[in-house]
Amino acid sequence: MERAVATIDRAALVHNLARVWDLAPAREVFAAVKADGYGHGAGVVATALAEAGCDGFAVSSLDEALQLRWAGITRPIMTLSQPLTADVLAAMGEHGITPVIFERAHLAALADYRGPELAAWLKLDSGMHRLGFPAYEARALTADIKAMTQVRLAGCMTHLGCADDPRDPLTHHQLACFDEALTGLDMPRSIANSAGVIAWPASHADRLRPGIMLYGSSPMTDRTSADLDLAPVMHLSAPLISRRDLGAGEPIGYGATWLTPEPMPIGVIGIGYGDGYPRHAPSGTPVAIGDAIVPLVGRVSMDMITVDLRAAPHAAIGDRATLWGRGLPVDDVAQAAGTIAYELFCRLTPRVRFDVL
């Protein structure tokens, strides 16, 4: 009996890339594959997306970029939050990786850089206040970078902080701020994450940087993955390893946090926080067996969770439960567990076996 298995569906990934193209036609798509492809396996994800025609990839660090190169990815790769030092720039030049400049110290390192030409992007802070230079400095910074001999200013980017909420005024402010800062500066622009692709056409610009929607989760507060026709890429399953019939008033699991309200069957599924299933998932978090939802009951342990089998009374040992994926949207599980799909995907541990379809 296999323990926890995450099955990665490459056709679903390619379907979701096509949704990006539908929503924002004729733009460059740089897929966000940081954190090991949002926990799906960066090499597998990037290879499938590159074969489908994705233009390039966005990762967090030089290490992540090099892992993609070692996985055989030859398309352009940009690093989103890699501090730029002399050593880092030398490696980027050698492997053709695109740095994003977001700190003053990076400018000094770039000015001293003497390797093969680097195509760098400048990051502006348009109001999220995480990374980037103040937007009003755009003109002066562009002039500084253009004066560097081995650096080509390939474009200018910013990141949206609240695009998941279509009513949030910050996005309008950020778009206006970025636009104003770049008035008269003729260069490619990149703004949109998944929420920008879906809900903010004015953010589409030249280069899109979608992440979560490619994996089949909705970033929006007001629309589900089904509404957006996004297909789940990861299907996480684990077997029913034991079951018992209990009387009313019996406690379940550590801390006895849940009592059976009536005589009922309880199932034990072979996945726990040691696999990355969230320990803080409360009783009621959905789990699926066949077509039935069998709510989690009691505390999540390291290797097991317990479920209420009343909706699937005939579930047998060896049957596989779905923790998220086809038939159980990851966003529903994330909402029940008080987190987001991004975190559920990223926290799976090496104990989970990965299969690729």
Ligand X SMILES: Cc1ncc(COP(=O)(O)O)c(C=O)c1O
Query: Minimum Å distance from CB 236 to ligand X?
Result: 19
Q: Is 302 annotated as a binding residue?
A: yes
Could you say which of 194, 203, 218, 237 contacts ligand X (CB under 6 A)?
A: 194
Task: Please identify which residue in 19, 40, 106, 159 interacts with ligand X, judged by CB under 6 A.
Answer: 159
Of 39, 211, 298, 329, the one binding ligand X by CB under 6 A: 211
Asked if 193 is part of the footprint of ligand X (rule: CB under 6 A), the reply reads: yes
Name which of 32 and 62 has its Cβ closer to ligand X. Answer: 32
Q: How far is the CB of 245 from ligand X (least distance, A)?
A: 44
Residue sitting closest to ligand X (CB): 211
For the question of residue 277 being annotated catalytic, the response is no
Q: What are the φ/ψ torsions at residue 110 (nearest 5 degrees)?
A: -70, -35
Which part of the chain contacts ligand X (CB under 6 A), choosing from 71-79, 176-184, 209-217, 301-309?
209-217
**44, 84, 155, 234, 240 from 2: Cα distances, Å:** 22, 44, 48, 17, 10
Interacting stretch for ligand X, rule CB under 6 A, among 4-12, 140-148, 167-175, 204-212? Answer: 204-212
CB of 59 to ligand X, least distance (A): 10
Query: Which of 123, 320 has the CB closer to ligand X?
Result: 123
Q: State which residue, 55 or 250, has the beta carbon closest to ligand X.
A: 55
Choice between 82 and 285, CB closer to ligand X = 82
187 is in an annotated binding site: no
Question: Which residue is catalytic, options 34, 38, 273, 342?
Answer: 34
Minimum distance between the CB of residue 306 and ligand X, rounded to whole angstroms? 33
Binding mask 78-97 for ligand X (x = CB under 6 A): --x-----------------
Which residues have C-beta within 8 Å of that of residue 39, sequence separation ≥ 6? 234, 345, 346, 347, 348
Marked catalytic residue, from 123, 254, 273, 277: 254
Query: Does residue 155 touch ligand X according to CB under 6 A?
Result: no
| 156 interacts with ligand X by CB under 6 A | no
Nearer residue to ligand X within complex by CB, 157 or 315: 157
Does 288 bind ligand X (CB under 6 A)? Our answer is no
Least Å distance, CB 201 to ligand X, is: 16
Distances from the Cα of 6 to the Cα of 234, 275, 305, 322, 328, angstroms: 6, 11, 17, 10, 14
The answer to whether 212 contacts ligand X (rule: CB under 6 A) is yes
| Residues 7 to 66 in contact with ligand X, rule: CB under 6 A | 32, 58
123 tagged catalytic: no
| Beta-carbon contacts of residue 62 (< 8 Å; ≥ 6 apart) | 79, 82, 88, 91, 92, 97
Nearer to ligand X, 39 or 93 (CB): 39
Specify binding-site residues. 130, 302
Specify binding-site residues for substrate. 130, 302
Which residues are known catalytic residues?
34, 254
Binding site for ligand X (CB under 6 A): 32, 58, 80, 159, 193-194, 209-212, 219
